[in-house]
Amino acid sequence: MGNGASAKNKNTANTNSQPARNQATTPRRGGNNFQEVQVRPADDHVTQDYRGTPPPLTNQQSPTHNNMAQREQGANLANQVGKRRTEAHKNSQKALEINEKNPEIGKQLKLKLSDLKSGEDIVFETFEHESGREYQCLYTGGMRFYLDDWHSKEWQPFPERWYKQGKLNTNTVSKDNQTRRGQGASTSRGGNQPQPATSSVPRNRDDREGVIDHPRRGRITTYMFNEKQYSHCYYDKESGSWLRLPIGWELHHELIKNMVDQVEEALPHWNDRLDILAALRACNYSADECISMYFHLEGDDWLKVPRTSKEAQHQADREIRLAVLEKKVRELEKDLQQEEKGRKEAEEQLNKLQEQYSTISAEAKIATTQVEAMQSSRPKTARPKTPKTSKGPPPGSLGIFSDDLDELNNKAKNLHKSHVHLKMDVERHFGTLGKMIKEALSAVSQIKHSESGQMKELEEVRALYQKEALERKLLYNQLQELRGNIRVFCRARKDTRTKCCLTFPSDQDITITSKDGSKKTFSYDKVFDTETTQDQIFEDTKAIVTSCVDGYNVCLMAYGQTGSGKTFTMMGPESNPGINIRAITELLKVCNERETVTYALKVSLVEIYNETVVDLLTADAKTVELKSAGNNIRMPNLTDHEVAEVKDIKHVMAMGDKNRTTASTKMNSTSSRSHLVLLLNVEGTDKVTGAVSRGVLTLCDLAGSERISKTEAQGQRLVEAAAINKSLSALGQVFSALRSSQLHVPYRNSKLTQILRPSLGGDAKACLFVNVSPDANNYPESCNTLDFGSNARQVALGQAKQNISKKAP
Ligand code: ADP
Ligand code: MG
């Protein structure tokens, strides 16, 4: 995927913190600076060891340091530039002569760049090839090089023929010793010498924005996001500091190796481990994301970029040749079109002439027949013996002969006149017709132009809208992140039959007192006392639930021992519904309120019993298969029902309840021994941009968390208990892995965590209710439940994802 290679490029050519695109317009020069521009001979292909051992970053090499040093040196060295340029010019002429005579020497020129003495003047330039491609060049010591950042990422000698195929834009130090950023651009066509600064080059507002021209996808907008990523370091005893782990070393790390293996196994044709690792780095060490990224881009040419400078050169040449040929083809097509037009016109003219000829010949025929008829109608005696010898018409017949002839003459004259008129008329009409066609054409082009203007405006508005929507989403996400992505609420069940052993010092604390009087206090994001209504509970979860509409995955779950009020909280009785119905009602409301987006809601209901996932929306308690797909889990044979109104969801719940009872009777289990998971898929399509957002609301009524008594610990109960214990501990492990930002989060350890995976971790928002009973007899179980909640809550507290540098081991 070339990420490894581009990483290398950053460490070598790109010493400035700006992206390479800006370097092209930023003059950089001076002594030590160019030594960071590493140049390798042509036969030194991109090998593992080269890419594997980029120079570690030290403070001395930090970009800021270089920039300052560069500025100082810039001031000192700028006044030497004039002298050096004359020298450099002579050198360049010599070098180019040699280069032309012997191409082999060209290769050696590359080596020379690394031999240049410090203090040598370096001028950075951009070369615009006629094919439309732009190259970054540097000119030093009379030699010019270009950076093949497209393929081999190396500095190559500037090909001689290119001087005729494009223009060089030079960025250099001006004479007044000032380094003018992005100002010193001048243009020289076919020249090989840097020119003084004249015109200015526009700079981008934000240099993290950019574009790349993809051969098939066209112009792609890019942006360098400033995100928190894992950075893998090793402790360097010599310098006493943590340094970046080179990509080649990293491959020997056990955990990383496993990840690369995982990706390689999934994508056997991607057989470049370094590339895989580079992609993994880019995906923040998430193998799943890396796989899905590859799947998304599979078959892309850029994923298999040429690796050697020769190949790159070859390809670059080929592409340039192709561009030239394409241009030629276009020109030829144009010529052909013109020729065809000319041919058509000629044909038209020919047709016209033929028509004229045929009318004239028809007229001539008629005239001849008339003459013949007249001649034959005359008496023989009146006819001249021969027209040539006759000196005049015979006496007596002279009047008739000349009349006929006159008449004929007149007719012929009239005919000719009308022919000339006709011709003029036709020509005149053709003239007006041509004018009209021209006008129509220009009107059409004007319409097209205005249409494209409108389209452009629409496009701009669309882009703005998209940006706003994204910003809103990001802001909301940030807000949630600040609050913690997993929020833990505690709810105490109302029970009038027993004495309450719970007290509530504040709305975030709960104290539990044992029979012997010992007290324990636990803190949560919110504690709801026994008197809290269903409505108040929902008020605090509403905000999280609605973020599902923006494309976030949201999970609400209830944890606690049997009888502590989980089902009451999640489902509730029909007269006083719990979170499920209220959340879906609210979602439907929000969806209907948003006018610019159309939403499709689909609901599924599953039960996880003894590590088997059962579809509750089918009558025959069908088992559901789980298939992993990147960060998500797919359940291909799961039934879903569309939800458009509240009554739909009630209907689905009733159906699920009925099927659950049937299934539990069949399996001889009780509902408290299984997890009930409701999945609501919310898919929104933006009417303006066409963008699709997908969020899943997962509502989970967990199985009772109590440990089983010794008397129960046998047969089916034991199996059930083991399955529940497995899944609830897996849930706890997932929380603690998320809390300590571990690279491996053990989602795969249970069916429950697999199903909840999209809603735990990452951008997802989760809300855990820990339900406790007020009965002092339940003290041990209540303590366990409260402990679980406390642990989960620290995930939220651990959300301050600062990359605090670790201490030395
Ligand atoms: P669980 O699902 O945890 O096993 P349930 O939700 O079924 O527990 O609750 C057990 C009993 O307690 C039910 O009859 C339920 O109506 C009642 N109950 C639970 N929480 C409350 C509450 N906050 N207010 C009133 N009754 C409740
Ligand atoms: Mg229950």
Banded pLDDT at 89 (limits 50, 70, 90):
very low
CA distance 171 to 183: 8
pLDDT on residue 347: 92
Q: Which atom of ligand 1 is nearest to the CA of 534?
A: 23
pLDDT on residue 380: 57
Smallest Cα–Cα separation from 717: which of 731, 707, 726? 707
Cα-based angle 672, 675, 681 (whole degrees, multiple of 5) = 140
| Closest ligand to Cα 772 | 1
Q: How many CB atoms lie within 10 A of CB 216?
A: 8
Distance from the alpha carbon of residue 610 to the mean position of ligand 1, in angstroms: 24
Tokens 């500091």 found at: 241
| Closest ligand to Cα 674 | 2
CA distance 681 to 695: 6
Instruction: Write out pLDDT tens, residues 213-243.
Output: 887 888 888 877 767 788 899 988 888 888 8
**Phi, psi dihedrals of residue 371, rounded to the nearest 5°:** -60, -45
CA distance 349 to 195: 57
- What residue ranges line ligand 1, CB within 6 angstroms? 493-494, 560, 562-568, 672, 704, 771
Q: Which atom of ligand 1 is nearest to the CA of 560?
A: 3
Residue 40 has pLDDT above 50, yes or no: no
Banded pLDDT at 338 (limits 50, 70, 90):
very high
Residue 780 has pLDDT above 60, yes or no: yes
Distance from the alpha carbon of residue 496 to the mean position of ligand 1, in angstroms: 12
Residue 785 has pLDDT above 60, yes or no: yes
Tokens 């129960």 found at: 712
Q: Taking a C-beta distance cutoff of 8 angstroms, is the pair 157, 200 a contact?
A: no
Residues 6+ away with beta carbon under 8 Å from 717? 708
Classify the phi-psi angles of 100: left when phi > 0, otherwise alpha if psi is within -120 to 50, otherwise beta: alpha
Q: Which atom of ligand 1 is nearest to the CA of 701?
A: 2
State whether residue 121 is helix, strand or coil.
coil
pLDDT on residue 666: 67
Q: Whose CA is nearest to atom 26 of ligand 1?
A: 494
What per-residue string of b and e applies to 111-148 under the rule 16 or more CB within 10 Å gives b?
ebbeebeeebbbbbbbbbbebeebbbbbbbbbbbbbbb
Summarize the confidence of residues 672-698 as an average pLDDT.
89
Distance from the alpha carbon of residue 557 to the mean position of ligand 1, in angstroms: 15
Q: Which atom of ligand 1 is nearest to the CA of 771?
A: 3
pTM for the full predicted model = 0.50
pLDDT on residue 498: 84
Instruction: Write out pLDDT tens, residues 358-399.
Output: 999 899 889 888 888 887 776 555 555 544 444 445 554 445
CA distance 65 to 699: 53
Classify the phi-psi angles of 635: left when phi > 0, otherwise alpha if psi is within -120 to 50, otherwise beta: beta
pLDDT on residue 795: 58
Residue 648 has pLDDT above 50, yes or no: yes
Instruction: Write out pLDDT tens, residues 463-520.
Output: 888 777 777 767 766 665 555 578 899 999 998 888 889 999 999 999 999 988 899 9
pLDDT on residue 577: 92
Summarize the confidence of residues 637-654 as an average pLDDT.
90
Summarize the confidence of residues 90-107 as an average pLDDT.
45
pLDDT on residue 668: 64
Ligand 1 pocket check: which of 489, 490, 491, 493 to mutate, most ligand atoms within 8 Å of Cβ? 493
Smallest Cα–Cα separation from 70: which of 12, 15, 10? 15
Q: Whose CA is nearest to atom 18 of ligand 1?
A: 565
pLDDT on residue 207: 65
Distance from the alpha carbon of residue 788 to the mean position of ligand 1, in angstroms: 20
pLDDT on residue 482: 54
**Phi, psi dihedrals of residue 106, rounded to the nearest 5°:** -55, -40
**Phi, psi dihedrals of residue 523, rounded to the nearest 5°:** -115, 145
- HEC string for 423-462: HHHHHHHHHHHHHHHHHHHHHHHHHHHHHHHHHHHHHHHH
Smallest Cα–Cα separation from 574: which of 460, 657, 473, 475? 657
Q: Which residue has the higher pLDDT, 207 or 412?
A: 412
| Closest ligand to Cα 564 | 1
Task: Identify the bridge partners of residue 500 per DSSP, sorted by sequence position.
Answer: 775
CA distance 534 to 142: 81
Q: Report the range of poorest mean pLDDT among 102-116, 188-202, 427-441, 453-467.
A: 188-202
Residue 336 has pLDDT above 70, yes or no: yes
User: Residue 736 belongs to what H/E stretch?
Assistant: helix 715-739
Looking at residue 740, what DSSP letter applies? T
Task: Identify the bridge partners of residue 144 per DSSP, sorted by sequence position.
Answer: 139
Residue 4 has pLDDT above 60, yes or no: no
Instruction: Write out pLDDT tens, residues 239-262.
Output: 888 888 998 899 999 999 989 998
Distance from the alpha carbon of residue 547 to the mean position of ligand 2, in angstroms: 27
H helices present in 152-272, as ranges = 247-250, 254-266
**Phi, psi dihedrals of residue 624, rounded to the nearest 5°:** -100, 135
Distance from the alpha carbon of residue 607 to the mean position of ligand 2, in angstroms: 12
CA distance 450 to 514: 80
Q: Which atom of ligand 1 is nearest to the CA of 573?
A: 16
Residues 6+ away with beta carbon under 8 Å from 175? 78, 81, 82, 196
pLDDT on residue 30: 33
Q: Whose CA is nearest to atom 19 of ligand 1?
A: 565
Q: How many CB atoms lie within 10 A of CB 800?
A: 9
| Amino acid symbol at 656 | G
CA distance 253 to 255: 6
pLDDT on residue 483: 52
Distance from the alpha carbon of residue 567 to the mean position of ligand 2, in angstroms: 4
- Beta strands at 143-147 and 641-643: parallel, antiparallel or unpaired: unpaired
Distance from the alpha carbon of residue 785 to the mean position of ligand 2, in angstroms: 15
Q: Which residue has the higher pLDDT, 26 or 315?
A: 315
Summarize the confidence of residues 773-786 as an average pLDDT.
92
* Torsion angle defined by CA atoms of residues 559, 705, 779 and 717, in that order, rounded to the nearest 10 degrees: 160
H helices present in 670-714, as ranges = none
Looking at residue 145, what DSSP letter applies? E
Residue 68 has pLDDT above 70, yes or no: no
CA distance 423 to 426: 5
Residue 58 has pLDDT above 50, yes or no: no
CA distance 427 to 695: 71
Distance from the alpha carbon of residue 399 to the mean position of ligand 1, in angstroms: 136
Q: Structure tokens of 614?
A: 């059962």
Residue 53 has pLDDT above 70, yes or no: no
Looking at residue 623, what DSSP letter applies? B
CA distance 674 to 745: 23
Q: Whose CA is nearest to atom 24 of ligand 1?
A: 494
| Amino acid symbol at 749 | N
| Closest ligand to Cα 492 | 1
Summarize the confidence of residues 132-148 as an average pLDDT.
78
CA distance 639 to 629: 18
User: Residue 245 belongs to what H/E stretch?
Assistant: none
- HEC string for 763-784: CCEEEEEEEECCEHHHHHHHHH
| Closest ligand to Cα 660 | 2
Distance from the alpha carbon of residue 566 to the mean position of ligand 1, in angstroms: 7
Q: Report the range of poorest mean pLDDT among 51-65, 104-118, 477-491, 529-543.
A: 51-65
Smallest Cα–Cα separation from 93: which of 163, 166, 175, 172? 163
Residue 627 has pLDDT above 50, yes or no: yes
Q: Structure tokens of 538?
A: 């929902």
Smallest Cα–Cα separation from 125: which of 197, 206, 222? 197
Q: Report the range of poorest mean pLDDT among 1-5, 345-349, 414-418, 581-585.
A: 1-5
CA distance 179 to 171: 10
pLDDT on residue 188: 38
| Closest ligand to Cα 493 | 1
Give Cα 53 to chain centroid, integer Å. Answer: 30
Give Cα 109 to chain centroid, integer Å. Answer: 40
Residue 408 has pLDDT above 70, yes or no: yes
CA distance 625 to 677: 15
- What own/partner pairs with CB < 8 Å and gap ≥ 24 does 799-802 have? 799/481, 799/482, 799/484, 799/485, 801/228, 801/741
pLDDT on residue 76: 43
CA atoms within 13 A on the CB side of 47: 8
User: Residue 510 belongs to what H/E stretch?
Assistant: strand 509-513
User: Residue 642 belongs to what H/E stretch?
Assistant: strand 641-643
Q: Taking a C-beta distance cutoff of 8 angstroms, is the pair 574, 615 a contact?
A: no
pLDDT on residue 57: 36
Q: How many CB atoms lie within 10 A of CB 449?
A: 10
Q: Which atom of ligand 1 is nearest to the CA of 570?
A: 6
Summarize the confidence of residues 281-290 as an average pLDDT.
88
Banded pLDDT at 809 (limits 50, 70, 90):
very low
Residue 181 has pLDDT above 70, yes or no: no
pLDDT, mean over the chain: 75
CA distance 473 to 547: 9
Q: Taking a C-beta distance cutoff of 8 angstroms, is the pair 325, 22 a contact?
A: no
Q: Which residue has the higher pLDDT, 226 or 600?
A: 600
Q: Taking a C-beta distance cutoff of 8 angstroms, is the pair 704, 724 a contact?
A: yes
Q: Taking a C-beta distance cutoff of 8 angstroms, is the pair 37, 12 a contact?
A: yes
Residue 796 has pLDDT above 50, yes or no: no
Q: Structure tokens of 139?
A: 């000119």
Instruction: Write out pLDDT tens, residues 702-728.
Output: 999 988 776 666 777 788 888 898 899
Summarize the confidence of residues 624-647 as an average pLDDT.
86
